[in-house]
């Protein structure tokens, strides 16, 4: 019998410029061109038009305005109370939730399936193409 070994994809990280108000667990996207070679990110707004595409999740704030963004793979300890096996979406606060965003009263909302809970405090970040819901 042959045994095959599958290597797990290693998480990818990006050092980015962020706002003082950004916190670990926020979902962010590229907001502008690099400054001194450092990507600039901002929180994802699911009510924005055109739709903002997420880059990843802030997993560490190195300074008030410098953060580490993980763009895929397993993330432990950032969120708690997750339901294993359930999908996670970006909410209006740029955070993850199990609840699918509701129909907007006006304008649009984008529905970003971005992760799946593996355990109560472990998720697998895998950003997918968003869907749009309109008022």
Q: Which residues contact 74 (CB under 8 A, 6 or more apart)?
A: 11, 118, 122, 123, 124, 125
pLDDT of 3 reads 55
pLDDT of 119 reads 97
The CA distances from residue 30 to 16, 69, 86, 87, 88, in Å, are 9, 11, 27, 23, 21
**Per-residue pLDDT averaged across 96-108, rounded?**
92
Q: Structure pTM?
A: 0.90
Q: Give pLDDT tens digits for 40-80.
A: 999 999 999 999 999 999 999 999 999 999 999 999 999 99
Q: Give pLDDT tens digits for 17-39.
A: 999 999 999 999 999 999 999 99
Are 25 and 91 in contact, with CB atoms under 8 Å apart?
no
As given in the structure block, the two tokens for residue 27 are 């979902």
What are the helix and strand counts (H, E) for the chain? Answer: 0, 11
pLDDT bracket for residue 8 (50, 70, 90): low
User: Is the Cα dihedral 18, 37, 31, 10 positive or negative?
Assistant: negative
């Amino acid at each position: 019998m042959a045994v095959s070994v599958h290597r797990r994809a290693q998480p990818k990280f990006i050092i980015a410029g962020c706002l003082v108000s950004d916190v670990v667990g926020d979902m962010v996207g590229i907001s502008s061109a690099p400054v001194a070679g450092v990507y600039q990110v901002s929180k994802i707004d699911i009510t924005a038009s055109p739709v903002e595409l997420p880059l990843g999740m802030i997993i560490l704030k190195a300074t008030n305005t410098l953060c580490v963004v993980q763009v895929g793979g397993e993330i432990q300890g950032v969120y708690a109370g997750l339901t294993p096996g359930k999908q996670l979406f970006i909410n209006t606060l740029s955070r993850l939730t199990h609840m699918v965003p509701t129909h907007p009263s006006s304008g649009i909302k984008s529905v970003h399936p971005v992760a799946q809970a593996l355990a109560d405090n472990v998720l697998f970040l895998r950003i997918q193409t968003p869907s749009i819901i309109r008022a």
